[in-house]
Amino acid sequence: MANKPLIVITGASSGFGAKTAQLFNQAGYPLLLLARRIEKIKELPLDFNNVLIEQVDVSNSQEFKQAIKKAEAIYGPTDLLVNNAGIMLLGNIVTQSEDEWQKMLQTNIIGVLNGMKIVLEDMTSRNSGTIINISSIAGFKAFTDHAAYGASKFGVHGLTETVRQEVANSNVRISLVSPGAAETELLTHVTNEKSLDDYLAWKDSMGGLTLDPEKVAETIKFIYDMPQEVTIREIAIAATKQQA
Ligand SMILES: NC(=O)c1ccc[n+]([C@@H]2O[C@H](COP(=O)([O-])OP(=O)(O)OC[C@H]3O[C@@H](n4cnc5c(N)ncnc54)[C@H](OP(=O)(O)O)[C@@H]3O)[C@@H](O)[C@H]2O)c1
């Protein structure tokens, strides 16, 4: 068993999750890295000693739980779960397909609930542990073409604060990170061309330079590195030039 406790990161194949994996890997933590495209995780610049990679769709509670139990059997209990996996499919409510709504709600909300449920019982009985959920500035502010995505991220805000209150007495920390627009693969799944063009034009209006995912990873580590008795409840982080 490694000296440091186990950290589980969902959506580790790209963007914020991949950067967060690299930061904690450099700091010597054993990692369970989850995504559907595990070949992308295997290509990350990591020291793969003490890294377990499992193909998991976070909306599938059984495979999510199996992966965490497998990692815990090797590395001990999960000390930090970063619920980062998410998708953003932009579109107007009238024209966007219900299938896209379902995909976002299943991944962005059910996936987060699944992860919390798997680790919380053990964390509360140990009176220790941390969960950091990745929401969005679209989780507390409205943006055009974000109806279903906003619903999912407002949901993450609501469930995170609810659970934080429920487990506070057990000394378990529940935190939220709400990033603004950042340079990741998030936009690559948007199917509506007009919504995509509008989003890209909005990004251009910030000088084309949005948030570096590395800074989100550093924020996650900053929250975790606080002593267990201190919870940073929420951090919203965005490019300085993001006005909205
Ligand atoms: N980039 C932004 O502008 C921005 C702003 C605010 C909030 N966020 C949030 O930040 C989080 C990370 O996104 P990102 O920007 O880093 O985008 P990204 O580069 O597209 O990464 C998303 C990650 O989630 C994983 N994922 C998606 N659906 C999954 C599922 N059903 N099961 C397991 N893994 C799944 C993807 O892996 P696979 O496809 O390999 O499964 C990928 O690793 C998301 O929750 C997103 O909503 C992003």
Per-residue pLDDT reduced to its tens digit, 171-225: 999 999 999 999 899 989 999 999 999 988 888 888 877 899 999 999 999 999 9
Domain region containing 48:
6-237
Model pTM above 0.95: yes
Is residue 223 one of the residues assigned to a domain? yes
Confidence label for 82 from pLDDT (cuts 50, 70 and 90): very high
Query: Which of 9, 16, 65, 82 best tests ligand 1's pocket when mutated (most atoms within 8 Å of CB)?
Result: 16
Calculate the CA dihedral of residues 198, 203, 205, 210 and round it to 10 degrees: 170
Is residue 242 one of the residues assigned to a domain? no
Quick one: the chain helix, strand, coil %, rounded to 5? Answer: 50, 15, 35
CA nearest to 179, candidates 218, 148, 207, 231: 218
Q: What is the pLDDT of residue 2?
A: 62
Is residue 199 one of the residues assigned to a domain? yes
Is residue 160 one of the residues assigned to a domain? yes
Q: What is the pLDDT of residues 32-67, one digit of tens each?
A: 999 999 999 999 999 999 999 999 999 999 999 999
Judge if the beta carbon of residue 17 lies within 6 A of ligand 1: yes
Judge if the beta carbon of residue 126 lies within 6 A of ligand 1: no
Termini Cα distance of the chain? 46
Q: What is the pLDDT of residue 114?
A: 98
Share of the chain above pLDDT 90, in %: 91
Is residue 244 one of the residues assigned to a domain? no
CATH code, domain with 231: 3.40.50.720
Q: What is the pLDDT of residue 174?
A: 98
Q: How far apart are CA 87 and CA 66, in angstroms?
A: 23
Is residue 1 one of the residues assigned to a domain? no
| Domain count across the chain | 1
Query: Which of 10, 186, 212 best tests ligand 1's pocket when mutated (most atoms within 8 Å of CB)?
Result: 186
| Residue of minimum CA distance from atom 30 in ligand 1 | 57
Is residue 82 one of the residues assigned to a domain? yes
Is residue 112 one of the residues assigned to a domain? yes
CA nearest to 48, candidates 70, 25, 68: 25
